[in-house]
């Protein structure tokens, strides 16, 4: 059996086109959706990611501005800047790129962002809203994974979904989203005994560890859906996921590739969240 590929790049393109249409409609009402991105320090990976976020936004009709500050910026100054953006009605989304310099308390910084503008979905209020099923912004990566499952018409009701990884950004919110769709969810992590016993029973596996070959063909039930959130480098320096793609695709029913899977979807979902922040601001009843 060879798995069908879930093409994240193509799906992200469809989502971006939809965002562009809704953005045009908002603009016609005089609302220009705007994302403010803050980067502190000069981490090279963060510089690339933030540039992508600006370009993705502007290509879709959103406006976005990157503010860069030196690594020795006092935390109090960053909090003051975030508060000014919170109060600025022309700013709909605020994203503080992580990691922050060591002298800053990242959670405190994130918690300073207004939940109404928390397009990363990292604020404790956003996490709480997801947990209890209230409106709020969902973190982009697990939200993108849910869209991929939706795109293949997968019915999660009663299915066993195994999430490998328990981060606040991916593993935990992923589990909540799957649970909300009536899956039976198991969260596995570095202390899990006999990971294979869980994955072999899974109908859906989401690998979000950040380590190559966490999931190999012998660990997958024939026909299972495999979503690979990993972003690692192989021995040739090429981007690869957490899943042994070549082996697992011979067993799984569906699989997401790396690159071209979850990555483009994560980027697209940030645009969706920013647009929705602007839509909600322009229509406070929603
Ligand atoms: N650093 C790496 N990924 C992300 C992300 O999705 N959001 C933010 N704010 N920082 C990141």
pLDDT the model gives residue 282: 82
Q: What's the whole-model pTM score?
A: 0.97
Low-confidence ranges of the chain (pLDDT < 50): 286
Return the pLDDT at 281. 92
Total count of residues recorded for the chain: 286
264 Cα–ligand 1 center, Å: 14
- Of all protein residues, whose CA lies closest to atom 3 belonging to ligand 1? 98
Q: Of 83, 158, 148, which is closest to residue 114 (Cα–Cα)?
A: 83
Q: Give yes or no for residue 279 CB within 6 A of ligand 1.
A: no
DSSP code at position 223: T
Tell me the H-state helices in the chain: 8-28, 44-59, 75-87, 106-112, 124-132, 140-151, 171-180, 195-199, 245-248, 262-282
Q: Is 61 in contact with 2 (CB distance < 8 Å)?
A: no
35-56 burial, b for 16+ CB within 10 Å, e for fewer?
bbbbbbbebeebeeebeebbeb
How close is the Cα of 2 to the center of ligand 1, in Å?
33
Residues ≥6 apart with Cβ < 8 Å to 28 = none
With a CB cutoff of 8 Å and minimum separation 6, the contacts of 31 are 278, 281, 282
pLDDT for res 286: 46
Query: Residue for token digits 């690869």?
Result: 240
Is the C-beta atom of 97 inside 6 A of ligand 1? yes
pLDDT tens per residue, range 71-109: 999 999 999 999 999 999 999 999 999 999 999 999 999
Which pLDDT does position 284 carry in this prediction? 59
Q: Which of 86, 111, 110 is nearest to 97 (CA)?
A: 110
The closest of 183, 209, 181 to 195, measured between CA atoms, is: 209
- CA pair distance 9, 164, nearest whole angstrom: 23
Contact 188, 164 (CB under 8 A): yes
H or E segment to which residue 4 belongs: strand 4-5
Q: In ligand 1, which atom is closest to the CA atom of 169?
A: 6
Contact 46, 103 (CB under 8 A): no
Q: Between vectors from CA 283 to CA 281 and to CA 284, what angle results, nearest 5°?
A: 70
- Closest among 156, 140, 148 to 227, alpha carbons compared: 148
Q: Is the CB of 3 under 6 A from ligand 1?
A: no
C-beta separation of 141 from 272 below 8 A: no
């Amino acid at each position: 059996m060879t798995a069908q590929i879930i093409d994240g790049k193509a799906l992200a393109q469809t989502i971006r086109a939809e965002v562009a249409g809704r953005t045009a409609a908002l603009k016609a009402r005089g609302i220009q959706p705007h994302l403010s991105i803050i980067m502190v320090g000069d981490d090279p990976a963060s510089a690339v990611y933030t540039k992508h976020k600006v370009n993705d936004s502007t290509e879709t009709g959103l406006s976005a501005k990157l503010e860069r500050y030196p690594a020795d910026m006092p935390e109090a100054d960053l909090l003051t800047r975030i508060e000014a953006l919170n109060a600025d009605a022309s700013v709909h989304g605020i994203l503080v790129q992580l990691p922050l310099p060591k002298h800053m308390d990242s959670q405190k910084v994130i918690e300073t962002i207004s939940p109404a503008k928390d397009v990363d979905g990292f604020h404790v209020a956003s996490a709480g809203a997801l947990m209890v099923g209230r409106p709020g912004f969902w973190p982009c990566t697990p939200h993108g994974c849910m869209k991929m499952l939706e795109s293949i018409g997968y019915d999660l009701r009663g299915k066993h979904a195994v999430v490998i990884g328990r981060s606040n950004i991916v593993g935990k919110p992923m589990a909540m989203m799957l649970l909300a769709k009536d899956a039976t969810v198991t969260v596995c992590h570095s202390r899990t005994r006999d990971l294979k016993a869980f994955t072999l029973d899974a109908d859906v596996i989401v690998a979000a560890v950040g380590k190559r070959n966490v999931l190999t063909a012998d660990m997958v039930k024939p026909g299972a859906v495999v979503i690979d959130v990993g972003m690692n480098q192989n021995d040739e320096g090429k981007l690869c996921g957490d899943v042994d793609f070549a082996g697992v695709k011979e067993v799984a029913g569906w699989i997401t590739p790396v690159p071209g899977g979850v990555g483009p979807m994560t980027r697209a979902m940030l645009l969706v969240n920013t647009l929705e922040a602007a839509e909600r601001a322009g229509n406070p009843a929603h």
